[in-house]
Amino acid sequence: MTLQGVRGQFPILQQEVHGKPLVFLDSAASSQKPQVVIDALDAYYSEDNANIHRGVYVLSQRATQAYDDARLTVQRFLNAGDHREIVFTRGTTEGINLVARTWGDANLGPGDEILLTRMEHHSNIVPWQLLAERSGAVIQVVDIADDGSLRMDEFDRLLGPKTKIVGVTHVSNALGTINPIQRICTSAHDAGAIVVVDGAQAVPHSPVDVQALGCDFYVFSGHKVYGPTGIGALYGKLALLREMPPYEGGGDMIRSVRFEGTTFAPVPAKFEAGTPNIAGTIGLGAALEWVMDIGMEGIAAHEADLLAYGTEKLGAIERVRLIGTAPEKAGVLSFVIDRIHPHDIGTILDREGISVRTGHHCAQPVMERFRIPATTRASFGVYNTRADVDALVDGIHRVIEVLG
């Protein structure tokens, strides 16, 4: 499969909004779904709807096979060394909470440190704050440079023998900054810390190899990478997962239950209590097979072209200021327009058929760092084109014309 004709595989993009062709530029919030993913969900509910790992009848066996195959797909997508290193979750947020509640609770105590960055999504801040409250650990924060890149000099200064966990985003959802994860992992391991990577904004845009990165945990959400909502995956090194206590108790995560005591199933079942999101998991597998069929390298090159084109076009508009201009970026253009509130920008762009995100993007520390209340964010997916960027530029001129 090639990128040519990809847009036509997304039914939702074939519509008009307010009488204008839909220009969807909010993939960083949630990507649209290709027909192949919709078909996978429909096929499960139409033909194979049954619980998994329990039934001996044919529907259950087919559903179980599809579910287990999806785990192998995620393993291949991330280049994990073992399929048991893949735990299905509701998404990035649950994956981070799982690590905080299991590895974190078991290993952190008073005086230990958790090292985060100022560009983190709230999902990679709040779970660690709760862990710090429970354990007595202290949170340290690495600042951002004026261009939106991570201050690696500060990272090196704050990383030390007390650091037990480094929580870092692979790609900033608010700025588009791509962080040097391999370098961070090497330094953290030298200091005796583990690294938890929020990969939600990375996996849709470029290849991810967890073994090459060297991270201990990597989490992502299906709905960012053309899959369903309510499903995601946690990669964890097998040795760490085996040591961690269960996250939740219930069916399918046990080996034996007696009132005298319970023995737990091996990983990954130990972390997947109850009936899972079977349809979502199958849909996630279909989405990842679809992007791998296209080729992540091709997707990355396509979006890099859109980013360069958009950066040039928006940078030429008077009164527009880009927030986040790091040398290494993914397809995110966050901007402000002098004397116009982002919510007003988003409202007028919507009337032009253009969907963008406005607000703090669940990254309030980023907004505080740049002394702004919010930004307007345009983010690219595989289905976007230069024509979409041109429409955005025309829309911004319309905003300035209407609001002065």
H-run or E-run covering 201: none
CA dihedral (313, 120, 31, 40) positive or negative:
positive
What is the C-alpha separation between 389 and 374, in angstroms, rounded?
Answer: 21
Candidate list 152, 317, 362, 403, residue with the active-site label = 362
DSSP code of residue 17: E
**Catalytic site residue 362?**
yes
Judged on CB neighbours under 10 Å (0-12, 13-18, 19+), 255 is exposed
Judged on CB neighbours under 10 Å (0-12, 13-18, 19+), 95 is buried
93 close to 344: Cβ distance less than 8 angstroms: no
What is the C-alpha separation between 68 and 357, in angstroms, rounded?
Answer: 35
Provide the angle, in degrees to the nearest 10, between the axes of the packed helices 296-315 and 278-294.
80
- Which among 242, 210, 251 has a CA at the least distance from the CA of 74? 210
Q: Which residues are catalytic?
A: 362
